Amino acid sequence: MNVSFWRDRNVFVTGGTGMLGSWIVSKLVASDANVVCLVRDQVPHSPILRVDYYKQHVSIVAGQVQDYEMMLRVMNEYEIDTVIHLAAQAIVPIANRSPLSTFDTNIRGTWTMLEAARNSPMVNRVVIASSDKAYGTQPILPYTEDTALVGKYPYDVSKSCADLIGLGYGHAFHMNIGVTRCGNFYGGGDLNWNRLVPGTLRSIYNGEQPIIRSDGTLKRDYVYVEDIAEAYITLAENVHRDDVRGSAFNFGINRPLSVLELVQLMLKATNSKLEPIILAEEMMNLEIREQSLDSSRARTLLGWTPKYSVEEGLQKSAEWYFTFLENRYRNGKHTIV
């Protein structure tokens, strides 16, 4: 991360109150950027909303990413230079239960943001969050950026569409746009307890058997959130370059682990003797069975490499969640990212 690059730069982060958004915003604020966050719903435990330091350094705009007039107003009135677009319905089981709201936020929200950015004369760079899910199920792994986008299930389809729309705007209108396709990121600050890492660590803290909703064999590329935050910021710094503009980049560690293997690593990291309960829910069949990413383009063109192994990332995550839960349950206080 080039700290001097961000000093006094106006940055608009959609989805800035989420787990990844909180890490990105904290790094930008520490670099003296002028950060504006779009907030749809109040998130009580987001540090961007509850910590006085961020309240003093981050401008909060209430609204929805699908509101074109509001998005254009924010970009113009705050003289935005850089847009980091994270706003999305990002939970796969919710997408399966509620596909319409997922499509509305993830697809319409992306083209609305892009059209506002296209019509705002001061926007110079845009980074869009896609996902490894955009590739869908493929016969050859790991995915490279040239792998076709063939999402099949609701969340995956929403990401395939948003990804293509983002690249389409970049090529058609010569905009400095970059797309991230990240593996499953995890770390402190994710309070969606139905997700694997926070849910498992909370169960371990409470002395309860962790619940695995699938059959435990789904394989994913797991990346620690601080590495992913650095990836977004590094891409934003370089998206104006001819060899980067209008491109997508994979960010992963190319070490696919099954759900059961990841849970076992969390049990090991916390010295827990608990045994997981495997539910093998039928709904979990609406997910890609195995994924992994080739991140050599990001290493070659952006100089990005993950700093944390899965074991190191899970150890840091366990420390964060155990501290958070200790304060929450006993003192009524909360830690920050």
Strand, coil or helix: what is 302?
Answer: helix
Residue 140 phi/psi, 5° resolution?
A: -120, 130
Residue 138 phi/psi, 5° resolution?
A: -130, 150
Residue with tokens 């064999």: 217
Q: State the distance between the two ends of the chain, measured CA to CA, in whole angstroms.
A: 18
Question: Per residue in 158-180, is it b (16+ CB within 10 Å) or e — as a string?
Answer: bbbbbbbbbbebbeeeebbbbbb
Q: Is 155 designated active site?
A: yes
What are the residues facing 219 on neighbouring strands?
258, 290
Query: Exactly one of 155, 169, 232, 308 is catalytic; which is it?
Result: 155
Q: Which tokens is 328 given?
A: 């929450």
- Do residues 287 and 214 make contact, with C-beta atoms less than 8 angstroms apart? yes
Distances in whole angstroms, Cα of residue 280 to Cα of each of 51, 198, 266: 39, 19, 20
| CA–CA gap between residue 276 and residue 268 (Å, rounded) | 12
Distances in whole angstroms, Cα of residue 127 to Cα of each of 13, 84, 299, 336: 10, 5, 18, 25
- Do residues 24 and 46 make contact, with C-beta atoms less than 8 angstroms apart? no
**Residues with catalytic annotation?**
155
